Amino acid sequence: MWWVESQWVIIELVQRNLGWALVPEHILVDALKDGSLVSPKLDFDKHSWPVAVELIWHKEKPLGKAGTWLKKAVIALDQQA
């Protein structure tokens, strides 16, 4: 696991063969075009969203109206994919 200051640094580390990473698609465009990185097809990544979407909340604090609505909306989008 890395802790870096930007996603651009992640790209540089991966280009130096120091691991792999999931980064937003728009950051990879140039590296994919010039062939310095490849993007494999992933079994667990069934969405074509340009960035990952995760919904996280504290297990000891119930969601309010807005959080409940957002959770349902994200689940519905996930099921459409």
pLDDT digits (tens, 9 = 90+) for 18-75: 988 888 888 889 999 999 999 887 776 666 666 667 788 888 998 999 999 999 998 8
For the segment 9-27, what is each residue's pLDDT rounded down to a tens digit? 989 999 999 988 888 888 8
Structure tokens at 79: 């099921």
Give, in order, the Cα–Cα distances in Å from 41 to each of 20, 25, 50, 56. Answer: 13, 13, 14, 26
- The amino acid sitting at 76 is A
| 36: three-class secondary structure by DSSP | coil
Say what the pLDDT of residue 36 is.
93
Regarding predicted confidence, which is higher, 72 or 1? 72
Query: Taking the CB of residue 11, how many other CB atoms lie within 10 A of it?
Result: 19
